[in-house]
Structure formats: C-alpha cells, structure tokens
C-alpha cells in the first residue's frame, strides 16, 4: 500500500445517511443526520443534549491548508499522513482536560474512530478568539512596520521578534464576513476590538453582553491549561485560536461551549522550549509549513497579500510540493500528538473503509449499498 493510500483527502463522499447537504470546510466535512437518526442516537447513547438536538458526523481529513489554500505534494500526496488523527487526538485531550477542570463542555458527544466525531449542533459565536503570549507571525510583521495598536490594545515600543509579551493578549478577529457593523471591514478574518463586540454583541451571535467576559475567561483559562501542560513537556504555547458556540443541554439550559478544535498544530503556534532558551525557534506547528511556502516560492507577497488570491490559488493548484515537505510536517504532527497525549497515534491503513464499518455497525447511519 502506498503512502498516498493512507491519506484521507476526500471526506465528503461517504455513504452516511444525511438530512441536509454535506458541509465541507478546509479540513473537515459535516454530515447532518436526519431528525429520526439524531433522536435515535440520543436515546440509544444517552447523550446529554436536548431530545430534539440535531446531531452530525464530523469527518476530519488529512488535507493541508495554508494561506487559505489547499496544497498537494509529489507522488499523488493529497494530504499529510497522520494529520487528521493527530489533530483530533490533541483536541480530544484538551477538551477532556477543560471539562475535568470545570471550564466548559465542547460540541463533541462521541468519538467512534480517530478521524470521526459525533457532535451536536451549536450556534457559533462569530469570533476567532485568539490569545497571544509572544510577538511573532502577523503581529510581528505589522509591529515591525510601525503598528502599535492591535484590537484596541496598544503595545510599547522596543519589542523584539519572538519576545514574550508583558501579558497574554486577546486579539479577536471576525469569523466570516460580517456585514453592516460600523468600523468593521466586510472581509473575512479582520481584527476587531472588545468595544466592537460590546457595541454589536448580537451581530457576533452573543446572547447577552456578559457573555463577552465569559468567552474571555474561557479563552484565558483554556490557554493557561494548555500552556502549563505544554510547559511540563518543555514546549511553549506561543499563541492559539479558540472558537465558541451555544448549545442547549438535556435540562434545557443554554451553555457557552468550546467548539471546532483547540491547542493543535493547526490552531496554535508551539515552540520547543530548549531551543527557545538558546535563541532559536523550532516550530512544532503548521507554522513551519507556512515558512516553507514563503521560502519555496520566489514571490512570497503572493501568499501574504489577500489582493493576490487568484495568483495564490494558481500556485497551490499548479505546484506539487516536494514529498519531503509533507513528510516533515507529518513527523511534526505525529510527534507533538504523541507527546501531548502520551499515547501512540493510530494511523489507519484504509481510513474510509474503517469509518464506514464502524458507523454502520455501531451507529446505523450508513446507507445500504
């Protein structure tokens, strides 16, 4: 079996019985179950959700997204071996730790397979909740060009690249294109301030103004939990992105929960502690792949300039990247997942067949062939 056969790149063609069209993002595909199947599974599995809660099967792929494009490699590689399993394993670990610490629940109800979550429908808060402990990446690029105010927070002069900030900063951005909000450009992923959230909390899908402080507490506490755990492994959590949403539990109470993924190499920057103390940065995250792309192409502005998106999409479409770049990233994902969870990562030989088998036998949601 070739390496490419172990990669799950296309994840929106499984014969899962659905009630709504399949939603496919950059990495995950979501299969919304029928009302009958949702109710049956809630009853059979005893999930702590409202009896009429819509459920979905969420399948993660091994696709690699960077600079808002999907990339492919030589030898028919359409993804990074082990990436999907690593992301799920890491997120599962942190979500369980958050729950054990009494922070908040997540949208995950069940984990039938390393690449699969059963989730409940949540009403998304339209905020990319970002917490930063070091000045690097896009913040450093802007700072080095003279910017000092980020999301309503003013930074002092004299900071150096990759330096630890005086305190963790919350620098939210929009999730999707927000329309009709004064002072907020109608583009995806634009920085916003706390006053933007307070003045237009309903537009960002918060139920009440007090929930802005609640999300900040969950973001900071979640950041601290991950940071402390990684520190004990001599790893540094540099920055991370969380997403939040609302669900209704079996008692009919609305709750603000964690959703999407947390503390992964896709949603966070993680650095090696020993190397940082020696003045070097060794990335344990997708950032290493971003840096590879910036160095690989002759004109990195194509990757950084949103106005050049058609050229960027052409780069991703027309260039099969070296297999070595994909395998280096695979090693990063697998090693950090096994370090964080303390367990070997299960990588499927035939992921699609395994997923279909378990969803048919244990959940009864596969269409008869």
User: What are the pLDDT digits (tens) for 149-207?
Assistant: 998 899 999 999 999 998 899 999 999 888 889 988 888 888 999 999 999 999 999 99
Strand residue runs (E) in the chain:
23-24, 28-32, 55-60, 64-66, 69-73, 108-113, 116-120, 123-124, 127-134, 149-150, 153-154, 164-170, 173-174, 235-248, 254-259, 268-272, 320-321
Q: At what angle do helices 323-341 and 287-296 cross, to 10 degrees?
A: 170
pLDDT in tens, 200-235: 999 999 999 999 999 999 999 999 999 999 999 999
**Residue 229 pLDDT:** 96
CA dist 30 to 19, 26, 61, Å? 11, 11, 11
Kindly state whether residues 241 and 259 are assigned to the same domain: yes
Contact between 92 and 207 under an 8 Å Cβ cutoff? The reply is no
Confirm whether 299 is domain-assigned. no
Average pLDDT, the chain: 93
Kindly state whether residues 152 and 223 are assigned to the same domain: yes
The residue with greater pLDDT, 119 or 1, is 119
The CATH number assigned to the domain holding 174 equals 3.30.470.20
Kindly state whether residues 116 and 144 are assigned to the same domain: no
Confirm whether 304 is domain-assigned. no
The CATH number assigned to the domain holding 21 equals 3.30.200.20
**Residue 151 pLDDT:** 87
pLDDT in tens, 91-126: 999 999 999 999 999 999 999 999 999 999 999 999
- Cα 167-151-219 angle, rounded to 5 deg: 55
Kindly state whether residues 40 and 76 are assigned to the same domain: yes
The two tokens of residue 68 are 């808002």
Which residues does residue 29 pair with via DSSP β-bridges, in sequence order? 24, 59
* Nearest alpha carbon to residue 26 among 83, 77, 111, 76: 83
Segments forming the whole domain that contains residue 81: 3-122+340-361
Determine the Cα–Cα distance for residues 173 and 151; give it in Å rounded to an integer. 8
Kindly state whether residues 195 and 97 are assigned to the same domain: no
The residue-averaged pLDDT of 289-301 equals 95
Domain-ending residue, one of 225, 244, 277:
277
User: Which SS3 state, helix, strand or coil, does residue 220 take?
Assistant: helix
Kindly state whether residues 94 and 174 are assigned to the same domain: no
Confirm whether 151 is domain-assigned. yes
- Cα 352-353-356 angle, rounded to 5 deg: 85
Kindly state whether residues 110 and 178 are assigned to the same domain: no
Confirm whether 310 is domain-assigned. no
Determine the Cα–Cα distance for residues 343 and 40; give it in Å rounded to an integer. 33
Number of domains observed in the structure of the chain: 2
Domain-ending residue, one of 256, 277, 298:
277
Domain-ending residue, one of 277, 294, 311:
277
Confirm whether 317 is domain-assigned. no
Contact between 257 and 247 under an 8 Å Cβ cutoff? The reply is yes
Kindly state whether residues 74 and 135 are assigned to the same domain: no
Q: Burial code of 92-104, b = ≥16 C-beta within 10 A, e = fewer? A: bbbbebbeeeebb
Q: In this model, does residue 2 exceed pLDDT 90?
A: no
- Which string of DSSP letters, residue by residue, matches 21-61? PPEE-SSEEEEEPPHHHHHHHHHHHT-SS-TT--EEEEEE-
Kindly state whether residues 178 and 245 are assigned to the same domain: yes
Kindly state whether residues 94 and 70 are assigned to the same domain: yes
Q: Residues near 29 by Cβ (< 8 Å), separated by ≥ 6?
A: 11, 12, 22, 23, 58, 59, 61
Confidence bin at 239 (pLDDT 50/70/90) = very high
Total-model pTM: 0.92
- Cα 364-365-367 angle, rounded to 5 deg: 105
**Residue 369 pLDDT:** 58
pLDDT in tens, 23-81: 998 899 999 999 999 999 999 999 999 999 999 999 999 999 999 999 999 988 999 99
| 293 burial type by CB count under 10 A (0-12 exposed, 13-18 middle, 19+ buried) | buried
Q: In this model, does residue 1 exceed pLDDT 60?
A: no
Confirm whether 171 is domain-assigned. yes
| 200 burial type by CB count under 10 A (0-12 exposed, 13-18 middle, 19+ buried) | middle
Confirm whether 41 is domain-assigned. yes
* Nearest alpha carbon to residue 94 among 199, 228, 254, 248: 228
Kindly state whether residues 129 and 272 are assigned to the same domain: yes
Kindly state whether residues 261 and 164 are assigned to the same domain: yes
**Residue 137 pLDDT:** 87
């Amino acid at each position: 079996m070739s390496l490419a056969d172990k990669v799950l790149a296309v994840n929106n063609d499984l014969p899962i019985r659905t009630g709504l069209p399949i939603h496919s993002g950059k990495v995950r595909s979501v299969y919304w179950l029928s009302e009958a199947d949702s109710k049956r599974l809630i009853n059979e599995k005893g999930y702590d959700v409202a009896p009429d809660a819509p459920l979905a099967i969420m399948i993660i792929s091994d696709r690699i997204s960077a600079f808002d494009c999907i990339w492919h490699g030589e030898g028919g590689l359409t993804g990074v071996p082990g990436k999907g399993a690593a992301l799920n394993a890491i997120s599962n670990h942190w979500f369980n730790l958050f729950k054990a610490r009494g922070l908040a629940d997540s949208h995950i109800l069940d984990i039938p397979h390393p690449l699969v979550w059963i989730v409940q429908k949540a009403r998304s808060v339209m905020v990319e909740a970002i917490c930063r402990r070091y000045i690097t990446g896009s913040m450093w690029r802007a700072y080095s060009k003279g910017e000092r105010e980020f999301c309503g927070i003013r930074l002092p002069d004299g900071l150096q690249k990759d330096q630890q900030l005086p305190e963790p900063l919350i620098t939210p951005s929009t999730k999707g294109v927000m329309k009709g909000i004064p002072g907020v450009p109608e583009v995806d992923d634009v920085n916003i301030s706390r006053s933007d959230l307070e003045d237009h909390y309903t537009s960002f899908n918060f139920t009440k103004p007090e929930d802005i402080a609640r999300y900040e507490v969950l973001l900071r506490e979640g950041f601290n939990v991950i940071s402390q755990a990684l520190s004990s492994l001599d790893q540094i959590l540099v920055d991370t992105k969380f997403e939040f949403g609302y669900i209704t539990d079996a008692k009919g109470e609305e709750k603000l929960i964690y959703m999407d993924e947390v503390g992964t190499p896709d949603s966070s920057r993680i650095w090696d502690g020993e190397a940082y103390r020696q003045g070097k940065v060794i990335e344990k995250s997708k950032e290493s792949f971003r840096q590879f792309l910036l160095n690989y192409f002759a004109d990195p502005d194509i990757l950084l300039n949103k106005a050049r998106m058609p050229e960027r999409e052409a780069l991703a479409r027309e260039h099969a990247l070296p297999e070595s770049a994909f395998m280096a990233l695979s090693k990063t994902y697998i090693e950090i997942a096994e370090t964080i969870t303390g367990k070997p990562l299960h990588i499927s030989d035939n992921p699609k067949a395994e997923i279909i088998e378990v969803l048919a036998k244990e959940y009864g949601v596969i269409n008869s062939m």
